[in-house]
């Protein structure tokens, strides 16, 4: 059964979420650079799926004026650590709203975050809601090693249906 991502934990503000991400990344012995932090902050602030080129337009001058490949590397890094998810259908990124600090069943070291996100995407307003998806490891073919899973459902959200 799927569950909504509130997990009964208090909502963290943006600064707390960025610091939480810093601890996860540094706990994996990797650097949480100012650019990576700023990209994550922009995605969290946006609150919905955001495209990479929209992020480029919003980067602060004090973290440099990175070229698209630099931003894509930051997005890949954040995704590898389970801090953001790529919504394939929209070619956009959304902050993971899963509360990493309170979930000790997930391994965050080395980017091996096991949380499987499931997205419900409104085809009218492009709103994206994230839920925790069921693990599909038990139903995979013998010998098949899953490296990445994306579960996306398309339809109409409650607001657009009204």
Distance CA 11, CA 72 (A): 28
Q: What angle is formed at CA 96 by the lines to CA 95 and CA 101, rounded to 5 degrees?
A: 125
Question: Tens digits of per-residue pLDDT, 2-56?
Answer: 333 333 344 678 899 999 999 999 999 999 999 999 999 999 998 889 999 888 8
- Three-state SS for 43? helix
How many structural domains are present in the chain? 1
Q: Give 23-29's long-range contacts (Cβ < 8 A, gap of 24+).
A: 23/101, 24/81, 24/82, 24/83, 24/100, 24/108, 25/81, 25/83, 27/108, 27/109, 28/81, 28/108, 28/109, 28/110, 28/111
Question: Tens digits of per-residue pLDDT, 55-91?
Answer: 888 886 666 667 788 889 999 999 999 899 999 888 9
Contact 121, 156 (CB under 8 A): no
Range of the domain at 69: 3-161
CATH at 157: 1.10.10.10
């Amino acid at each position: 059964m799927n569950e909504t991502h509130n997990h009964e934990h208090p909502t963290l503000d943006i600064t707390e979420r960025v610091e939480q991400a810093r601890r996860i990344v540094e706990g994996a012995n990797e650097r949480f650079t100012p650019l990576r932090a700023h990209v994550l902050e922009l995605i969290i602030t946006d609150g919905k799926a955001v495209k990479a080129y929209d992020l480029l337009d919003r980067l602060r001058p004090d973290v440099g004026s990175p070229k698209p490949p630099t931003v894509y590397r930051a997005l890949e890094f954040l995704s590898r650590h389970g801090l953001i998810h790529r919504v394939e259908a929209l070619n956009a990124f959304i902050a993971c709203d899963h509360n990493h600090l309170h979930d000790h069943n997930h391994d965050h070291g080395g980017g091996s975050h096991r949380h499987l996100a499931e997205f419900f995407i409104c085809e009218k307003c492009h709103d994206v809601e994230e839920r925790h998806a069921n693990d599909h490891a038990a139903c995979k073919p013998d010998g098949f090693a899953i490296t990445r899973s994306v579960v996306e459902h398309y339809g109409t959200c409650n607001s657009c249906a009204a």
